[in-house]
Amino acid sequence: MNAQLPPLTPISDARTEGRSTRTAVSATGTISLALDDTLRLLFRPFDAWRWARLGLLCLFLGGTTPSAALQWSLSALPSDLRLTDLVTGARQYIAQNPSLIFLVIVFALALGVGFLYLRSVFRFVLVDSLIKREVALRRAWSALRRLGQSYFRWLVGTLLALATTFSIMVILAFPGLQAAMTSSPGGLFATAALALILSLIVLLGLAVGLLIMLTDDLVVPLMYAERLALPSAWRELWQKMRHDPGSFAVYILLRFVLSVGVSVAVLLFLVPLLVGVFSGTIIVAATVVLALHLMGLVWVWNLPTIGLVVAALVLLSAVLVILLSTVGMPGQVFLQSFGLRFIAARSPSLETLCSISDEQGRLP
């Protein structure tokens, strides 16, 4: 795990244990560089196919804003579709067939693991796209798959450790809480203990979230530049954080502020778009039903009509996915570039790659 992976492209041999040979750019100064990188990748020149590929990347990278927008959009569906009844019926059917529970669990786990694997590799593909200013999914996937696998193993291990810790805390605390709740004098103690456990769970979740954020933003670019396995890259980052803790503290604070700003901006774009999509969907559905009624036909549920509704739902889902990935993509590109530029100013090898890319970008 700690051995260096073989380099795939020639880069500088300088080590990154200290500062760069140039003056390191501050976290605030990195914002303008990240904004320029985002504008150059997305608009100079504008390429719809590039946007589509970046949207696919960022869709698998996830993000709080697209997830929240998806939940809001599903809750905004008209009640006539009876999605709640469908979900309830599906649960009852699964409960009556215990073998399906096992299949559902296996399918959910496989889907989650597959998503984490794609997320791990695509994180490096996004860094590669920012540095080379082109989105070559097939080439980048082949070149960066081993780095992504190193990140994937660490990510799965971290999430498993988090889930195990939560389970152990609940198992150890439950007998004591149950005993305290049975006696009236112990009710206050049980409430305080439960509040303490919940606080610890929240703090642990925030710590893991911060750890994953720093890995995405800072460790992944270091792995990309020097072809390091994740533990080695984290050691280098830790040395840099100890050398200049103030700058990294400012970076974390700015990263949080920028994430909130990006989320708000994306939602401001998404809400009217989603309202328009659902309004258009309702109008089209009402028009079809009215036209059938005027023709003397009555809508009945049979195989053709069920197939038509399923096709319509698939089309609506595709439109939602395209909207979520396209509108949320520029913000994710900007945030990744923010971390890339910040750590590049403190890593000679990564700074070399960025400088070469900047020089090529200035050529006519």
Cα–Cα nearest to 68, from 317, 322, 271, 276: 271
Phi, psi at 227, each rounded to 5°? 55, 50
List per-residue pLDDT tens for the chain, 364 residues long: 444 444 444 443 433 343 344 455 677 788 888 888 888 888 878 888 888 888 888 878 865 444 444 444 444 444 444 445 545 555 665 666 667 777 777 888 888 888 889 999 999 999 998 998 888 888 888 889 899 998 999 888 888 888 888 777 777 666 655 655 555 555 566 666 667 777 787 888 888 889 989 999 999 999 998 888 889 999 999 999 998 898 899 999 999 999 888 888 888 877 787 777 777 777 877 787 788 777 777 666 667 777 777 788 878 777 777 777 778 888 889 999 999 999 988 888 888 888 877 676 555 5
Is 181 a domain residue? yes
Residue 6: per-residue pLDDT: 47
Structure tokens, 232: 């080695």
Q: 333, 39 in Cβ contact below 8 A?
A: no
Find the Cα–Cα–Cα–Cα dihedral 110, 116, 118, 124, rounded to 10°: -160
Rounded CA separation 128/84 (Å): 43
Is 2 a domain residue? no
Residue 8: per-residue pLDDT: 45
Residue 93: per-residue pLDDT: 58
Residue 81: per-residue pLDDT: 45
Cα–Cα nearest to 147, from 117, 119, 130, 124: 124
Is 187 a domain residue? yes
Q: One-letter amino acid identity for 290? A: L
Strand, coil or helix: 63: coil
Residue 69: per-residue pLDDT: 42
Q: Which residues contact 51 (CB under 8 A, 6 or more apart)?
A: 42, 326, 329
Rounded CA separation 318/325 (Å): 11
Structure tokens, 303: 């195989």
Is 275 a domain residue? yes
Is 10 a domain residue? no
Is 317 a domain residue? yes
Q: For the chain, what is the domain count?
A: 1
Question: Positive or negative CA dihedral for 197, 200, 206, 212?
Answer: negative
Domain hosting residue 358, numbered range: 30-82+97-362
Residue 7: per-residue pLDDT: 47
Q: b/e map of 252-268 (b: 16 or more CB within 10 Å)?
A: bebbeebbeebbeebbe
Q: Could you list the beta-strand ranges (E) of 123-262.
A: none
- Other Cβ atoms less than 10 A from the Cβ of 145: the count is 16
Q: 230, 6 in Cβ contact below 8 A?
A: no
Residue 184: per-residue pLDDT: 55
Q: 61, 127 in Cβ contact below 8 A?
A: no
Structure tokens, 121: 């590799």
Rounded CA separation 325/334 (Å): 14
Structure tokens, 313: 């739902």
Is 272 a domain residue? yes
Strand, coil or helix: 46: strand
